[in-house]
Amino acid sequence: MKRIVLTIYVLMFAVNSWASALSGELIYLDGEPWMLMRKPIDTNSELYDKLKAALPENRVVSTSNIDGYWACWSVRNNLLCLDSILVDISEAKVEKRIRIPEYNMQQIFKGYYIGNDIVASWLTEDVRVTRGKQIYYAHVGYDRYYEEETILSINYGNIIGSRLYHNRMVIDGYPYPKNPKAFIERLKQCSINVNRYPDLKNIKKIIFQVWNVKNDSLGNIIDCEMTAILRSGDEYNHIETELALEMKKQFMEIGPWQTFYINGEYVIPTLRYTYTFPYVIEESPLFSPFLNGVGEDSTHFRVVSDSLTVPCRTLTIGSPYDSHRITI
């Protein structure tokens, strides 16, 4: 009977539109400097296009500031007001910071002035402003958290609500990807009996997707959504519900996870977005029943990461002892 090598690549990644951490913008609340975790001008396509057309071509850009400008803001009279826009430019290999001239500001933001103030009356949403020690960081968008955060509720530029939170880590559990080895040590205890699934016969890869994770304050998963997508060749052609349910039950037993109290909620930042577990399946003659002391029905699991492979312990799937062969 065909022997299978099932390689579990424990390379967890979030599906997110940002590929890099993004710079915040300066905002003053009651005269105190905070960081605004948003670029309000970018939410208005007309203003955004006008601003980009007015920015100098020799401005300095980066992955954290792809448009090459910083806006400075203040809250005055319960209004979100734009104070200035700063740009770093490069001339003769020398960088310097300049301010967008008042004339250009008047042309770009015409219609948004109240007296001498530019009011962000195009903006209606809740925004985060932060300060203090950074307690969690992920290299994606604004996915980082600070000890002090205020949520400003904005309605057409008017501040209609303000909620101050004191954030903290409450459970120092599995902190993948900060410590992938600990996560692998636990994940490798999960096992899938591939003999239960005839659809895996010609499958080269299984993609497990995990999302909509709900957790308690102790870092335990109380519910989640999981899908198993089967790949044959270059095509992902089937979604296997029973396989996903088998993995989901075991995945939910992993814990506790590193958990934070963030803006009124207990969250596991590692699992806030959609994550995947790619399983690669390939035929292999590596495991002889004579050399390894196992039968023809044995299935081998090898748990690896992109930088870590751990040694093997031999058990047998489908044996009278109902045990499993897992690389640990």
What would the pLDDT profile of 51-107 be if each residue is shown by its tens digit?
999 999 899 888 888 899 999 999 999 999 999 999 998 877 778 899 999 999 999
What is residue 204's predicted lDDT score, i.e. its pLDDT? Answer: 74
Mean pLDDT of all residues belonging to the chain: 78
Structure-token pair, residue 2: 């065909």
| 267 within 8 A of 9, measured Cβ to Cβ | no
Stretch 212-232: mean pLDDT: 92
226 vs 189, higher pLDDT: 226
pLDDT at 36 over 90: yes
What is residue 294's predicted lDDT score, i.e. its pLDDT? Answer: 30
Tens-digit pLDDT profile for residues 107-121: 999 999 999 999 999
Query: Which residues in 25-57 are b (16+ Cβ under 10 Å) and which e?
Result: bbbbbeeeebbbbbbbbeebeebeebbeebbee
Tens-digit pLDDT profile for residues 202-219: 777 788 899 999 999 999
What is residue 191's predicted lDDT score, i.e. its pLDDT? Answer: 75
What is residue 107's predicted lDDT score, i.e. its pLDDT? Answer: 96
Could you give the dihedral angle defined by the CA atoms of residues 181, 182, 187 and 188, in that order, rounded to the nearest 10 degrees?
A: 60
Q: Tell me the sheet residues that pair with 299.
A: 4
| 197 within 8 A of 243, measured Cβ to Cβ | yes
Going edge to edge, which strands form the sheet with 299-304? 235-239, 221-232, 205-215, 275-283, 4-9, 299-304, 325-327, 312-313
